[in-house]
Amino acid sequence: MLTLEHFLTVGVLLFCLGLVIALSKRNAIGVLMGIELMLNSVNLTLIAFSRFSTGPAEIAGHAFVAFVITVAAAEAAVALALAVAVYRSRQTVEVDQLDLLRS
């Protein structure tokens, strides 16, 4: 039988994998994919806590997950629009080559 510790272990592993991807990629799209993986691991842990909790606040985890999914969708849309705009002006999406704020 799966316990809360199993879900939390998978959530921690997914979060660490997303963090490594977000910090190691030079491509902006790869960084976004790492951030999305971290958000999904948080969703997994919220659902696990909601599943294994008892009492009147059982639905709170589901409500937080719906909010996180909404914010993640908005973040992905804005970030991809920014990546397209940067690519059109600089012809690259490599994070270390972007110096738009320098004069």
pLDDT value at position 102?
A: 61
Contacts of 11 (CB under 8 A, 6+ apart): 41, 42, 44, 45, 48
Q: What are the structural domain ranges in the chain?
A: 4-96
The closest alpha carbon to 33, from 14, 57, 47, belongs to 14
Choosing among 2.60.40.1260, 3.90.25.10, 3.40.50.300, 1.10.287.3510, the CATH entry for 4-96 is 1.10.287.3510
pLDDT of residue 6: 96
Q: Quick one: pLDDT at residue 74?
A: 94
- Looking at residue 48, its pLDDT comes to 93
- Tens digit of pLDDT at every position of the chain (103 positions): 899 999 999 999 999 999 999 999 888 889 999 999 999 999 999 999 998 888 777 788 889 999 999 999 999 999 999 888 888 888 888 877 777 656 4
